[in-house]
Amino acid sequence: MSETIAIIPARGGSKGIPGKNIIEVAGAPLVAHSIGHARAATSIDRVFVSTDDAEIARISAAHGAEIIERPAELGSDQATSESALHHAVGHYVAAEGVEPGLIVFLQATSPLRRADDIDRAVGQLRRTGADSLLSAHRLHTFVWQQRDDELASLTYDHRHRRRRQDLETVEWMENGSIYVFKPWVLRELDNRLGGRIEVFEMDVLTSFQVDEPTDLDLIELLAPAVARSDGDSVPDIILTDAGRTPTAGIAAARDRDQTGSLALRRSGS
C-alpha cells in the first residue's frame, strides 16, 4: 500500500527571525512541534524535513524526522515552497521507486496545530474524494474590500446591516498549517492545491503562526490554553496591551486575526 508522507520544509535563512525554525518556543525548537504532530498522527507513515541547514537537520533528526538535504538555491528568499516540495518528492521517488499515496505539507511556523487536526484533514480528503485540501478558520465578521479608490462591503450589504451570526457568506482565512494533496496535483499543476479542493476547518487560536518576533510571545501564551482545550472549544484567553496578560475572553486574538484578513484582501493577496 502506498505511503502517506509528511513534508516539513525548514530553511535556515530566515530574515525576520534569525534561526526561526530552531528557536525555542513553548518548550521545544519551533520545527520540533510540527515533527511531533506528524509523528503522533496515525494517518502519517513517514515524516521528512527538507532543509539546507545543518543545525536544523541535526535537531530535526533528533526529534525523529528523516532528513532531505535541500540544495542551497532552493533555500533562498526567492525559492517557493513548491520548489522544496518538488525536490522532496523527487528524493522520495528516487529512493522508493514509486510516488507516495498522499502528501501532507506542514509548515514549521504552525506550532499550535494538533496531531488530530492532521488525521482529520487526511480523513476528510479521503472521505470526500478531493484532490487537495487546505486548512483554514472560519471568519464571522463584516469584511470590506478596497480596489483602487473603490471601497465595498464584501460579505454583507452595508445598506441593510444584519447581525454577524446571520451573515450568509462563508469566509475562510487560509492559515498555512496543513495542506494535503495527491502527487499529481504538484506534478502537473506545480501547486499544492488543484483539482477538487476541500477546506479543513481549524479554530482561530490553533491557526496562529510564527511570522514576526512578537508572535513568539503570543505562542508562549496560547500554547498552555490550546493544550488544555478539547479541540472543539476555543480556549478562554485574551491578549492585552499591558504585558499580554491572560484574562477572560478571546476578543483581542480574534480581532488581530480578522484585521490581518482584511489587510490581505486590501493588498490583493
Which domains are delineated in the chain? Answer: 4-267 (3.90.550.10)
Kindly tell me if the per-residue pLDDT of 134 is higher than 70.
Answer: yes
Q: Quick one: average pLDDT of 213-240?
A: 70
Which residues are within 8 A (CB) of 232 and not within 5 positions of it... i.e. 6 or more apart?
none
Q: Quick one: average pLDDT of 202-222?
A: 92
Question: How much of the chain exceeds pLDDT 90, in percent?
Answer: 64
Question: How much of the chain exceeds pLDDT 70, in percent?
Answer: 82
Active site residue 161: yes
CA distance 128 to 102: 14
Kindly tell me if the per-residue pLDDT of 232 is higher than 70.
Answer: no
Q: Quick one: average pLDDT of 211-235?
A: 78
Q: Quick one: average pLDDT of 95-100?
A: 97
Kindly tell me if the per-residue pLDDT of 188 is higher than 60.
Answer: yes
Query: pLDDT at position 165, please?
Result: 67
Count Cβ neighbours within 10 Å for each residue of 105-142 and write b for 16 or more, e otherwise: bbbbbbbbbbbebbbbbbebbeeeebbbbbbbbebebb
- Please tell me which residue in 58, 127, 147, 161 is annotated as part of the active site: 161
- Would you say 134 and 107 are in contact if contact means Cβ atoms under 8 Å apart? no
Kindly tell me if the per-residue pLDDT of 249 is higher than 60.
Answer: no
CB atoms within 10 A of CB 171: 17
Task: Give per-residue pLDDT as tens, 30-42.
Answer: 999 999 999 999 9
Q: Residue 248 — very low, low, confident or very high, per pLDDT cuts 50/70/90?
A: very low
Cell of 13: 535563512
CB atoms within 10 A of CB 97: 7
Q: Residue 47 — very low, low, confident or very high, per pLDDT cuts 50/70/90?
A: very high
CA distance 54 to 36: 20
- Would you say 57 and 67 are in contact if contact means Cβ atoms under 8 Å apart? yes
